[in-house]
Amino acid sequence: MSSSSSSEAMGIREELLKKFIESGERERLQEILRSKLYASGWQDRVKDRCQRVVHESTEGIEKLTVDDMAEEVTPFARSAVPEDIKAEILEDIRAFIFRALPETEH
């Protein structure tokens, strides 16, 4: 990819992100995601993992930082998102991109 096409792609990406935020679509999808994760029990599983990390910490809770907790729990939390929820949100994002691209792009 040449530098001009690379910078053009970055410009399109930035414009799409701007539209995604300004249109309220990002907030709408975040709310749907929160609701679906809650309904699936995902929050409870992540909370349980956090509690386990605290209890199993060899340094004690006094030395456990938020960064340590995030580093330990984030990979689990991401992998614990049900596949159907991931697929639905990704499809909604793809649909938004398709609608938002200029007619000449698709």
Please list the pLDDT of the chain residue by residue as tens digits (106 residues). 556 678 887 888 899 999 999 999 999 999 999 999 999 999 999 999 999 998 888 777 778 889 989 999 999 999 999 999 999 999 999 999 999 887 545 5
pLDDT value at residue 9: 79
Please, what is the angle between helix 83-100 and helix 25-40, to 10°?
Answer: 170
Output the CA angle 26-27-33, nearest 5 degrees. 90
Sign of CA dihedral 99, 101, 104, 106: negative
| 35, amino acid identity | S
Residue 24: predicted pLDDT: 96
